[in-house]
Amino acid sequence: MSEKSKPQVFSNRWAVAVGPDGDESPRDLCTCLERISTRPQRPTRFHRERQDTTAPGWIRLLELIEEAAADGREVFEPLVELTAEQRRQVVTLPPTIAELTSVKHLVLYGSNLVRIPPEIGAMRSLEEFTPYTSYRLHWFPYEITRCAGLRRSTVSTRAVYGNYKRRPPFPRLLATTAAQGVDFEDLDPGVWGAAVIRTCSVCDQHIEGVNLRQAWISLRTSGADVLPLLVNACSTACIDALPVPAEGYVQAPHAGGPGVEQPPAGPSPR
């Protein structure tokens, strides 16, 4: 075989971020979004899984976050420290990620996550976010916009709501009246997108259940990706204060569901 005919071999730049193999898969399968673009697509819903806070993977993750906060590291790759079984046990991150104020690069490659907590907004040094191949992660908290230094991200955008390539639909959000009498310290994440909602995504004030207003907005949160963000607002004024959505996406905050008309799927709107 001549030099010219030899196939080019590319290295896996994320090989060190995968973590150790095991007898079981490190993540669950997800069929939320259809692989083939069809019209109409079936409605989407939030993942219902609750985090088991007694699971060994969760407990080990808490320890790793504590260690990273104490030593002030700039790159945090917690999943490489977990077994495959432990990685599968983690479906969200602990609120203690707010203590990772020195971390510049958060690597969550190949995770089993279904949601990111709003406390990511307290990671004030974050410059790069890598949840690549986390195929069950379909949306992100609006609070990530507080990471003013975030410039790079590597996200499997085909797996997120509203992505321009296929325009998968957003889950329908409930009307404000549905929040009356609800315990916001013990929510059904399959309905509200979180098990707990305490503060406004926009002004950071405490949210009383009767005042909650939820909305979707698509924003360019880094130099690369437009992400679907869930807003938990305390008032109509905070919804009105949201920025203009990214070009080529729904041009106003919305409540999701089949009634939302998205731009046609196609080439990148950039």
User: Across residues 116-130, what is the average pLDDT?
Assistant: 98
Neighbour count for residue 86 (Cβ, 10 Å): 22
List, in order, residues 6 or more apart from 133 with CB less than 8 Å away.
14, 109, 110, 156
pLDDT at 25: 83
> Is this structure's pTM higher than 0.85?
yes
Domain boundaries, given as residue ranges, for the chain: 17-240
Kindly state the DSSP code that residue 230 receives in the 8-state scheme.
E
Q: What is the pLDDT of residues 14-30, one digit of tens each?
A: 455 666 666 678 889 99
List, in order, residues 6 or more apart from 91 with CB less than 8 Å away.
47, 49, 50, 51, 112, 113, 114, 115
pLDDT > 90 in the chain, percent: 75
Nearest alpha carbon to residue 138 among 30, 269, 268: 30
Which region among 23-37, 54-68, 69-83, 234-248 has the lowest average model confidence (pLDDT)? 23-37
pLDDT band (50, 70, 90) for residue 142: very high
Mean pLDDT value across the chain: 90
From the CA atom positions of the chain, what is the Rg in Å? Answer: 19
37 pLDDT higher than 80: no
Q: What is the pLDDT of residues 177-217, one digit of tens each?
A: 888 888 999 999 999 999 999 999 999 999 987 789 999 99
